[in-house]
C-alpha cells in the first residue's frame, strides 16, 4: 500500500517537471515548506478518495437492495435497527473522526509554516507591481527583477509587499502562497533542498496582466550564490561598441532612465520600473513573456502594449536605427 503510494507520488513528481528542469508543481516539492504542504495534500486527497468510494459503494448497495419486490414500508420495518447504526456510524461518528483528523493535520501544518527562521537568515525584499516583481537584498545592496536568487539548503526570509494592488507570491515547489499587500509586510520562509530553478507566479488576480506576472527562484550552491551577488554588485558594463554607446545616450535622452535605473547611468524615478543594471543576464522580461535579449527584447521595446496590453511602460516612437542602438546597449548590460 505504502509502496503503491510512493509510486503514485513519484509519477506525479515526474509529470510536474517541465521546461528543461524548471520545477513548478506543488506535487514535486523541493523544499521543506512545500514538502509539509504536499504531505497534507496527500492526507486530504486520501481521506477524500476514501469517502468518495465509501459513499459510492453504500449508494450502490442501497440501489440494489431497493430493487426487490418489498414495499418501502416493509423494507423500513425490516431495517429500522440497522438504519440507526448506519446513520450514527456513517453519518455522525465517521464524519466527526475525519473532521478531527483534517483539523489536527491542517493546524499542525499551518503552525509549522508560520515559523520564522533564525535571526541571521538571508532577507530578501520582494515587492509586487502591476505586473512584475521587484527583488532586493537589503543587507547586500543588490536589486533585480522577476528573479529571486537564494542559496540552497538554508532558510531565506522573504519580506513581501506590494506597490499597488494585492498580489500573491507563489513558488509551488518551494512553499505555499503568501499575499503581497500594499500596506503591510508579510513574511514567508523558503528553502530549497538543491540548487535549481523553480517557477513562481502571481496567485492573486491583480489586473489585466495577472497571468503574465511570472518569476523564478534560482537556488545556488554557496559559491555560486556569492558569485551571483558579486556580479550583481559590479557596476553596469560600459558598452564596448559604438552602437551600444549610442544606445546608452538614447536611453537617457528618450527618458527610459527616468523610470528604469541602471547603475552609473540612470537612477530611475518616481514611476517604479525594473532595474536594468544587469538586464541581459536575466532569463526573461515582461513577466516571463519574452527573453531578455535579441529579437524578443526588440519586439518589447518597439511596442510593449502589443505584447502586454495594459502595461505601464509607455510607447516611445523609435526609428529602426534607434531600436538597434537601444537593443545593443541593453544587451551589453550583463
> Shortest distance, CB of residue 281 to ligand CUA, whole angstroms?
24
Which cell is 187 given? 513574511
Q: Which of 134, 147, 155, 204 touches ligand CUA by CB under 6 A?
A: 204
Q: Which of 210, 232, 278, 298 touches ligand CUA by CB under 6 A?
A: 210
Which residues, including other chains, have CB under 8 Å from residue 170's CB and lie 6 or more apart? 176, 177, 178, 200, 201, 202, 203
> Shortest distance, CB of residue 169 to ligand CUA, whole angstroms?
9
Q: Which of residues 206 and 256 has its CB atom nearest to ligand CUA in the complex?
A: 206
Which cell is 184 given? 503591510
> Shortest distance, CB of residue 205 to ligand CUA, whole angstroms?
6
Q: Is 262 exposed, middle or buried (0-12, 13-18, 19+ CB in 10 A)?
A: buried
Q: Which of residues 131 and 137 has its CB atom nearest to ligand CUA in the complex?
A: 131
> Shortest distance, CB of residue 316 to ligand CUA, whole angstroms?
25
Contact at 8 Å (CB) between 46 and 2? no
Q: Which of 33, 150, 206, 279 touches ligand CUA by CB under 6 A?
A: 206
3-state SS assignment for residue 291: strand
The beta strands (E) that lie in the chain are given as 17-18, 22-23, 122-129, 132-137, 142-145, 147-151, 156-162, 167-170, 178-180, 186-190, 196-202, 214-220, 261-262, 266-267, 284-285, 290-291
Q: Which of residues 212 and 293 has its CB atom nearest to ligand CUA in the complex?
A: 212
Is residue 178 at the binding interface for ligand CUA, with CB under 6 A as the rule? Answer: no
| CA-wise closest residue to 38 among 157, 181, 193 | 193
Q: Which of 34, 158, 173, 202 touches ligand CUA by CB under 6 A?
A: 202
Which residues, including other chains, have CB under 8 Å from residue 308's CB and lie 6 or more apart? 131, 209, 212, 286, 287, 289
- With contacts defined by CB under 6 A, how many residues of the chain interact with ligand CUA? 9
> Shortest distance, CB of residue 201 to ligand CUA, whole angstroms?
8
CA-based angle 103:106:109, to the nearest 5?
Answer: 150
Q: Which of 104, 205, 303, 305 touches ligand CUA by CB under 6 A?
A: 205
Q: Which of residues 90 and 166 has its CB atom nearest to ligand CUA in the complex?
A: 166
Q: Which of 23, 31, 36, 128 touches ligand CUA by CB under 6 A?
A: 128
Is residue 173 at the binding interface for ligand CUA, with CB under 6 A as the rule? Answer: no
> Shortest distance, CB of residue 311 to ligand CUA, whole angstroms?
13
Is residue 167 at the binding interface for ligand CUA, with CB under 6 A as the rule? Answer: yes
Is residue 213 at the binding interface for ligand CUA, with CB under 6 A as the rule? Answer: yes
> Shortest distance, CB of residue 129 to ligand CUA, whole angstroms?
8
| CA-wise closest residue to 149 among 236, 237, 234, 222 | 222
> Shortest distance, CB of residue 148 to ligand CUA, whole angstroms?
15
In DSSP terms, which residues pair with 259 in a beta bridge?
Answer: none
List residues binding ligand CUA (CB under 6 A). 128, 131, 167, 202, 204-206, 210, 213
Amino acid at each position: 500500500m505504502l509502496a503503491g503510494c510512493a509510486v503514485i507520488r513519484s509519477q506525479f513528481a515526474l509529470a510536474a517537471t517541465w521546461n528543461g528542469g524548471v520545477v513548478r508543481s506543488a506535487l514535486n516539492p523541493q523544499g521543506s515548506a512545500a514538502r509539509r504542504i504536499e504531505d497534507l495534500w496527500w492526507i486530504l486527497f486520501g481521506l477524500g478518495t476514501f469517502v468518495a468510494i465509501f459513499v459510492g459503494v453504500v449508494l450502490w448497495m442501497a440501489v440494489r437492495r431497493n430493487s426487490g419486490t418489498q414495499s418501502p414500508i416493509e423494507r423500513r420495518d425490516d431495517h429500522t435497527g440497522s438504519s440507526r447504526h448506519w446513520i450514527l456510524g456513517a453519518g455522525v461518528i465517521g464524519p466527526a473522526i475525519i473532521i478531527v483528523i483534517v483539523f489536527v493535520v491542517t493546524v499542525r501544518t499551518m503552525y509549522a509554516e508560520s515559523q520564522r527562521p533564525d535571526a541571521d537568515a538571508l532577507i530578501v525584499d520582494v515587492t509586487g507591481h502591476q505586473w512584475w516583481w521587484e527583488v532586493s537584498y537589503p543587507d547586500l545592496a543588490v536589486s533585480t527583477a522577476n528573479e529571486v536568487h537564494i542559496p540552497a539548503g538554508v532558510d531565506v526570509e522573504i519580506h513581501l509587499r506590494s506597490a499597488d494592488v494585492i498580489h500573491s507570491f507563489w513558488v509551488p515547489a518551494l512553499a505555499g502562497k503568501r499575499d503581497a499587500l500594499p500596506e503591510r509586510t508579510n513574511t514567508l520562509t523558503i528553502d530549497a533542498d538543491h540548487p535549481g530553478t523553480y517557477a513562481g507566479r502571481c496567485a492573486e488576480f491583480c489586473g489585466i496582466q495577472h497571468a503574465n506576472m511570472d518569476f523564478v527562484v534560482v537556488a545556488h550552491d554557496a559559491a555560486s550564490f556569492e558569485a551571483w551577488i558579486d556580479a550583481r554588485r559590479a557596476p553596469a558594463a560600459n558598452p564596448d561598441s559604438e552602437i551600444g554607446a549610442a544606445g546608452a545616450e538614447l536611453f537617457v535622452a528618450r527618458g527610459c532612465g527616468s523610470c528604469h535605473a541602471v547603475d552609473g547611468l540612470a537612477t530611475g524615478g518616481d514611476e517604479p520600473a525594473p532595474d536594468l543594471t544587469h538586464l541581459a543576464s536575466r532569463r526573461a522580461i515582461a513577466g516571463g513573456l519574452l527573453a531578455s535579449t535579441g529579437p524578443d527584447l526588440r519586439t518589447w521595446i518597439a511596442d510593449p502594449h502589443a505584447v502586454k496590453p495594459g502595461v505601464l511602460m509607455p510607447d516611445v516612437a523609435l526609428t529602426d536605427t534607434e531600436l538597434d542602438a537601444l537593443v545593443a546597449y541593453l544587451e551589453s548590460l550583463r
